[in-house]
Amino acid sequence: MSVSTAIGPDQIAAIRADLPALARRVHDDVPAVYLDAAASTPRAKPVIEAVRAFDEQFPANVHRATHQMASEATEAFEAARADVARFISAAAPGEVVFTRGTTEAINLFANTWGASSLQAGDEVLITALEHHANIVPWQLLAQRTGCVLSVIDCEDDGSIDTERALSCFSDRTRLLSVTWISNALGTIVDIEPLIAHARSRGITTLVDAAQAVGHRPVDVRALGADAIAFSGHKMFGPTGIGCLWAHGELLDSLPPWQGGGEMIDTVSFDGSTWNTPPWRFEAGTPNISGAIGLGAAVRWLEHIGMDAVAAHDLAVTGDLARRLSGIDRVRLVGTPTHRSGAVSFVVDGIHPADCGMLLDRHGIAVRTGHHCAEPIMRRMGVSGTVRASTGCFTSVDDIDRIEQALTRVIEVFG
- The residue (of 231 and 390) whose beta carbon lies closer to ligand PMP is 231
DSSP single-letter state for residue 42: P
The 3-state DSSP class for residue 56 equals: helix
- Please tell me the distance from the alpha carbon of residue 69 to that of residue 77, in angstroms, as a whole number: 12
Choices 15-23, 26-34, 84-92, 98-106; region in contact with ligand PMP by CB under 6 A: 98-106
Pick 58 or 138: Cβ nearer ligand PMP: 138
Q: Does 208 bind ligand PMP (CB under 6 A)?
A: yes
Q: Which residues of 260-294 are buried (b: 16+ CB within 10 A; e: fewer)?
A: eebbbeeeeeeeeebbebbbbbbbeebbbbbbbbb
- Strand 25-26 versus strand 173-179 pairing type: unpaired
Q: Return the residue of 127, 179, 368, 389 that touches ligand PMP, per CB under 6 A.
A: 179
Residue 287 C-beta: closest distance to ligand PMP, Å: 12
Distance, CA of 227 to CA of 282 (rounded, Å): 17
Binding mask 244-273 for ligand PMP (x = CB under 6 A): ------------------------------
Report strand pairing: 204-208 vs 227-231.
Answer: parallel
Closest contact distance (angstroms) between CB of 38 and ligand PMP is 6
**Positive or negative, the Cα torsion across 360, 366, 368, 372?**
positive
Nearer residue to ligand PMP within complex by CB, 183 or 344: 183
Binding residue for ligand PMP (CB under 6 A) from 125, 133, 154, 188?
133
DSSP annotation of 111 reads I
The CA distance from 17 to 13, in Å, is 6
Site for ligand PMP in 31-50 (CB under 6 A): 38
Out of 41, 103, 111, 340, the only residue in the binding site for ligand PMP (CB under 6 A) is 103
Dihedrals phi, psi of 371, to nearest 5 degrees: 60, 35
Return the C-alpha torsion angle 99, 366, 215, 114, nearest 10: -40
- 131 is a contact residue toward ligand PMP (CB under 6 A): yes
Rank residues 181 and 306 by Cβ distance to ligand PMP and give the closer one: 181
Q: Of 234, 195, 240, nearest to 216 (Cα)?
A: 234
Q: Within 363-382, which residues bind ligand PMP (CB under 6 A)?
A: 372
Which positions are catalytic?
372
What is the smallest separation between the CB atom of 3 and ligand PMP, expressed in angstroms?
A: 24
DSSP string, 121-145: T-EEEEETT--GGGTHHHHHHHHHH
Q: How far is CA 358 from CA 49, 155, 172, 256, 408, in A?
A: 35, 32, 49, 48, 10
**Judged by CB under 6 A, which of 42, 101, 186, 363 binds ligand PMP?**
101
Bridge partners (DSSP) of residue 206 are: 177, 227
**End-to-end Cα separation, the chain, in angstroms:** 26
Q: Does 227 bind ligand PMP (CB under 6 A)?
A: no
| Binding to ligand PMP in span 276-305, by CB under 6 A | none
Binding span for ligand PMP by CB under 6 A among 204-212, 263-271, 350-358, 362-370? 204-212
Task: Say if residues 344 and 184 touch (Cβ distance below 8 Å).
Answer: yes
Spatial separation of the C-alpha atoms in residues 248 and 261, rounded to whole Å:
22
- Is 40 or 395 the residue whose CB approaches ligand PMP more closely? 40
Closer CB to ligand PMP, 90 or 210, in the complex: 210
By beta-carbon proximity to ligand PMP, the closer residue of 129 and 320 is: 129
Q: What is the DSSP string of 253-268?
A: HPPPSS-SSSSEEEEE
- Only one of the segments 71-79, 100-108, 158-166, 267-275 lies at the binding site for ligand PMP (rule: CB under 6 A); that segment is 100-108
CB of 386 to ligand PMP, least distance (A): 16
From 41, 183, 275, 385, residue interacting with ligand PMP (rule: CB under 6 A): 183
38 or 126: whose CB is closer to ligand PMP? 38
Alpha-carbon dihedral 291, 293, 299, 303, rounded to 10 degrees: -160
- Give dist(CA 380, CA 364) in Å, integer: 25
Choose one: 50-58, 208-216, 317-325, 405-413; the region binding ligand PMP (CB under 6 A).
Answer: 208-216
Asked if 210 is part of the footprint of ligand PMP (rule: CB under 6 A), the reply reads yes
Interacting residues with ligand PMP (CB under 6 A): 38, 101-103, 131, 133, 179, 183, 208, 210-211, 231, 242, 372
